[in-house]
């Protein structure tokens, strides 16, 4: 991807040197337990993490931490994250503006190891996430090393896909889609996982819409789209379940299969159109 460092984004919160960024002692749980608590917090707008170890109140503002020691490589990654964050949000500002509505920019927090957010405590091992009460994306930059080494997804466009997928959740929040899904999950708890999958696939499609905009700007390098598709496939529920347990259980999916995630990213990429990303009106 052809990008130029522009300095740190005004929407970036660096918590790597703060107590919120370190998170303190966290309750030990598997990824399944974390997802359940995060889903409950998301549906009922209550901090269920507080029940097992405490959490920041919803809407706790992010604050800049103390200066941190970072390698030149890590600082370059911060610059890259800032570039993608700003470019993605500029893209959505234009899309919303063309539709005659304002876009409220999200924030992105960098942390190390663990963090307290308005959605509760989270460990870096759980991966990047978006917290609706904060309107903020949270990511530990070490996740990119795991994405490369554990999941085999290398390249800067795979990294960009991760960020723009989470920004996609912010877009859903802005459009009221997230609230509609929460209400549907409350009314039909048995459909909660399926609705979660459709929400995640739509965020993949929204990431594809951003990728569509980069084609128009001519900032793609050969192989970038393949990197993003590899990243989407790497975090498919079936791939992760196969790696961790050797057993694939579709009924427990919350994000969708590798094939679904690649297909919806490509849909957004090829159309650049919000209407094409209605994952709730299709068979899957």
Query: 91-115 pLDDT, tens per residue?
Result: 999 999 999 999 999 999 999 999 9
Q: Is residue 1 part of a domain?
A: no
Q: Is residue 4 part of a domain?
A: no
CA dist 162 and 151 (Å) reads: 13
Structure confidence by residue, pLDDT tens digits, 147-182: 888 888 888 999 999 999 999 999 999 999 999 999
Q: What is the mean pLDDT of the chain?
A: 86
Q: What is the pLDDT of residue 36?
A: 55
pLDDT at 51 over 70: no
CA distances from 36 to 56, 188, 252 (A): 18, 16, 11
Structure confidence by residue, pLDDT tens digits, 236-259: 989 889 888 898 998 989 999 999
Q: What is the pLDDT of residue 282?
A: 82
pLDDT at 49 over 60: no
Q: Is residue 6 part of a domain?
A: no
CA dist 52 and 34 (Å) reads: 11
Domain that holds residue 182: 12-281
- Model pTM above 0.85: no
């Amino acid at each position: 991807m052809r990008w130029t460092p522009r300095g740190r984004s005004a929407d970036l919160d660096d918590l790597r040197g703060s107590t919120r960024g370190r998170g303190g002692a966290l309750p030990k749980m598997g990824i399944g337990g974390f997802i359940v608590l995060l889903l409950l917090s998301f549906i009922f707008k209550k901090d269920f993490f507080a029940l097992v170890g405490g959490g920041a109140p919803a809407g706790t503002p992010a604050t800049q931490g103390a200066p941190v020691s970072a390698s030149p490589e890590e600082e370059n990654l911060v610059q890259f994250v800032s570039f993608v964050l700003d470019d993605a949000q500029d893209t959505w500002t234009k899309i919303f503006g063309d539709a005659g509505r304002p876009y409220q920019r999200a924030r992105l927090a960098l942390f190390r190891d663990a963090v307290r957010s308005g959605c509760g405590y989270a460990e870096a091992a759980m991966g990047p996430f978006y917290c609706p009460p904060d309107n903020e994306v949270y990511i530990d930059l070490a996740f990119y090393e795991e994405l490369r080494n554990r999941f085999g997804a290398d390249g800067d466009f795979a990294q960009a896909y991760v960020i723009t997928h989470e920004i996609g959740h912010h877009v859903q929040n802005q459009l009221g889609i997230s609230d509609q899904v929460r209400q549907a999950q409350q009314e039909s708890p048995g459909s909660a996982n399926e609705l979660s999958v459709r929400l995640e696939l739509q965020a993949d499609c929204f990431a594809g819409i951003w990728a569509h905009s980069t084609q128009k700007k001519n900032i793609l390098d050969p192989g970038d789209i393949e990197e993003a598709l590899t990243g989407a496939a790497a975090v498919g529920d079936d791939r992760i379940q196969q790696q961790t347990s050797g057993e694939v259980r579709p009924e427990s999916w919350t994000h969708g299969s590798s094939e679904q995630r690649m297909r919806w990213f490509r849909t957004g990429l090829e159309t650049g159109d919000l209407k094409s990303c209605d994952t709730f009106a299709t068979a899957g």
